[in-house]
Amino acid sequence: MKKIEYTKIKGQSLAYYGLLAGLGFMILMGLLATWYMEHNGHYVTGMSNQIVWGMPHVFAVFLIVAASGALNVASIASVFGKKIYDPLSRLSALLAIALLAGGLVVLLLDLGRPDRLIVAITTYNFKSIFAWNIILYTGFFAIVGGYLWMMMDHNMHQFKKKVGLAAFVWRLVLTTGTGSIFGFLVARSAYDAAIMAPMFVIMSFSFGLAIFILVLMAAYNWTGRELGDAVIARLRNLLGVFVASVLYITTVYHLTNLYITEHHGVEQFILRDGGIYTNLFWIGQVLVGGLIPLALIYAPGVKNCRKTLGLISTMIIIGGLCQMYVIIIGGQAYPMEIFPGYEVSSSFFDGIVNQYAPTLPEIILGLSGMAVSLLLVTFMIKVLSFLPTSLADSVTDPHAK
Amino acid sequence: MSDQINDSRRNFLSKAAIAGSITIAPGVFLHQTAQAKSDDQAVSSNTRWGMLIDTDKCSKGCTDCVDACNNEHSLTGFDRPTTDAQYIRKVSLVEKQTGHEISLPMMCQHCETAPCVDVCPTGASFKREDGLALVDKHICIGCRYCMMACPYKARSFVHEEIKNQTLSAPRGKGTVESCTMCVHRIDKDGIPACVEACTEENHNAMIFGDLNDPNSTISQELKKHGGKQIRADLRLNTGVRYQGL
């Protein structure tokens, strides 16, 4: 394997500045949406006292989960010693930080009192998995930031592997924590399951890699740098394993619930009678986000087709957002079983499927989180040397282990 | 003559007694007030406030408790049922197997191990020593995780600016709130507004009292006739119990 040369991108083209301006505009729109929602109060959103977490959380949790997944490429190089992934490590770590930042911005701006950020990071209830997550997020920035330093400073290379291992362990704990936000909820039938934590870990592998592949291909395509088939083939195969794993754990989750009588109601709701949630599950999550990408990844005719891989990655992201929507919104839409065995009615919407329709400001806020992530990456690869000058097959050496 | 003297003596004594009573009464009254908890005195776990609801006495369609609560906390709605706050609501139940109908008020159950308290990242959701589950609105960041966690759907999020608040029950846009069991009344030796209304209207479906005091009416009634917890399977040891469920 040749010595890898990293260079900053030039970033002087009109297209580059256009991209920055476009992402900046999206962020501005997100801030305006936040101002509108916070100024009026949350009643102007689709959220209510029944659906308390809405579209912003779908985007925020998706980005946070994808963040830890984006770090996988670096982990495979440093922890598992696969050298072909080594040149991708810097971008992997940068994207991980950027995605987490984007997700947290959305989460923060949807709080009832975002002005109390200082309270959130200084006042802890250590029994709360949410509080632990705040610590895990902060730690993730610090450790992955340190990891980048070890990678980018030649004098610190000797520590790269150890810090990489720490980052890998930290990211596993982080996604376990994110999944446990739902797993620890005893109140609602759709959650309250230990499998939520490993499910989120596996989802992170898939979503994070899909975003990584898109960013990598875009960066190399738009800067005219060479990106060899060897790297792409590896990433494509890895993506196939991750997509299959998500389908597997989703199956296990639903099979378990189908076996347990008290969960039959929520399963019928998600899998059969839930309307939008059932459609998003079968068409969005399973078909668009799972089966079709899986078929395309292993289809012989399009093996080296970059456009197909781009399509596959996009489908996985759309499927991932659908999965988050089904988990977060669908889980709340299903009526809480406070009185099992009774038909329930009240002025507070007991016993009926809760309605939710996302409003435009919520969607804009969510998308602006994605824009924050992409803006950070776009800007940072111009400022520091994150990208190898070439990832041609001759540079990355596909036979090196 | 002696009868006259005796009469005037009697008159004098009775007037003196009345005057004495009037003079002493405020002292007695003040003494009683001094027994109530002063503002800077910490509450004690020797007390656990609770409620017992007899669903057989709770009639369908009656909203006296709900009205009293809304009035007490100035929960004036904005005619937006999905986002308007409800501390207490009337729930109608029909048993699927038998068709048996039950009506009951539902509010924060003031669990001993409250899920809302467990999940709150900042500790804004907290348990008072006397068993009340409350929200410190100064450190609530409005994340709504407690609303996700509450098995009784007892909490509301303040979705818009609140005007005409009452001094005793402050509320704030962007924070979460729920039944406080009228803590502001309890701390002044009063009883919750819902219980008061239910009793005043002679429904007598709600009893409030100290669960830790074996001689309290609520403890005696629970000992005699029992009382169920809603979602007892979660073993949260709720402070609100129900009969007739």
Q: Assign residue B95 a region (left: φ > 0; alpha: ψ between -120 and 50; beta: otherwise).
A: beta
DSSP A159: G
Considering only the beta carbons, identify the residue of B90, B118, B173 that sits closest to A41: B173
Is the CB of B234 inside 8 Å of chain A's CB atoms? yes
Rounded to whole angstroms, the Cα distance separating B124 from B109 reads 18
Q: Could you tell me the pLDDT band of residue B28, with boundaries at 50, 70 and 90? A: very low
Residues from chain B that touch A346, judged by Cβ atoms under 8 A, are 89-92, 106
Residues 6 or more apart in contact with residue B27 via CB below 8 angstroms: none
Which pLDDT does position B3 carry in this prediction? Answer: 55
pLDDT digits (tens, 9 = 90+) for A332-389: 999 999 999 999 999 999 999 999 999 999 999 999 999 999 999 999 999 999 999 9
SS3 B115: helix
Q: How many CB atoms lie within 10 A of CB A104?
A: 22
Encoding tokens for residue A155?
A: 């004098």
- Cβ-Cβ contacts under 8 Å between A and B: the total is 165
Residues from chain B that touch A188, judged by Cβ atoms under 8 A, are 148
Comparing B29 with A27, the larger pLDDT belongs to A27
Rounded to whole angstroms, the Cα distance separating A258 from A260 reads 6
Widest distance between CA atoms in chain B: 87
Rounded to whole angstroms, the Cα distance separating B77 from A86 reads 59
Encoding tokens for residue A212?
A: 């990584």
Residues from chain B that touch A196, judged by Cβ atoms under 8 A, are none
pLDDT digits (tens, 9 = 90+) for B81-93: 999 999 999 999 9
| Residue pLDDT tens, chain A, 401 long | 578 999 999 999 999 999 999 999 999 999 999 999 999 999 999 999 999 999 999 999 999 999 999 999 999 999 999 999 999 999 999 999 999 999 999 999 999 999 999 999 999 999 999 999 999 999 999 999 999 999 999 999 899 999 999 999 999 999 999 999 999 999 999 999 999 999 999 999 999 999 999 999 999 999 999 999 999 999 999 999 999 999 999 999 999 999 999 999 999 999 999 999 999 999 999 999 999 999 999 998 888 899 999 999 999 999 999 999 999 999 999 999 999 999 999 999 999 999 999 999 999 999 999 999 999 999 999 999 999 999 999 888 656 54
Rounded to whole angstroms, the Cα distance separating A169 from A268 reads 37
The one-letter amino acid at A313: S
Residues 6 or more apart in contact with residue A212 via CB below 8 angstroms: A69, A70, A73, A88, A91, A92, A95, A235
| Mean pLDDT taken over chain B | 90
Rounded to whole angstroms, the Cα distance separating A391 from A5 reads 10
Across residues B123-128, what is the average pLDDT?
A: 98
B23 pLDDT more than 60: no
pLDDT digits (tens, 9 = 90+) for B168-197: 999 999 999 999 999 999 999 999 999 999
Return the closest-CA partner of residue A213 out of A318, A88, A65, A393.
A88
The answer to whether the beta carbons of residues A85 and A391 sit under 8 Å apart is no
SS3 A8: coil
DSSP states along B55-102 = GGG--TT--HHHHHHHHHTT----S-TTTS--SSEEEEEEETTT--EE
Rounded to whole angstroms, the Cα distance separating A337 from A192 reads 13
A109, A300, A323, A397, B186 from A236: Cα distances, Å: 35, 13, 21, 17, 65
Is the CB of B141 inside 8 Å of chain A's CB atoms? yes
Residues from chain B that touch A52, judged by Cβ atoms under 8 A, are 144, 147-148, 157
Global pTM exceeds 0.95: no
Which pLDDT does position A303 carry in this prediction? Answer: 83
Contact criterion met (CB < 8 Å) for A124 and B83: no
CATH class of A11-386: mainly alpha
Interface test with chain B among A40, A104, A116, by most B beta carbons within 10 Å:
A116
Q: What angle do CA B45, B50, B55 make, to 5 degrees?
A: 165
Return the closest-CA partner of residue A275 out of A315, A319, A326.
A326
The H or E element spanning position A157 is none
Q: Could you tell me the pLDDT band of residue B33, with boundaries at 50, 70 and 90? A: very low
Contact criterion met (CB < 8 Å) for B122 and A120: yes
Return the closest-CA partner of residue B64 out of B202, B243, B209.
B202
Q: Could you tell me the pLDDT band of residue B13, with boundaries at 50, 70 and 90? A: low
Q: What percent of chain A has pLDDT over 70?
A: 98
Contact criterion met (CB < 8 Å) for B123 and A125: yes
Residues 6 or more apart in contact with residue A190 via CB below 8 angstroms: A266, A270, A327, A330, A331, A334
Interface test with chain A among B125, B136, B144, B171, by most A beta carbons within 10 Å:
B144
pLDDT digits (tens, 9 = 90+) for B98-119: 999 999 999 999 999 999 999 9
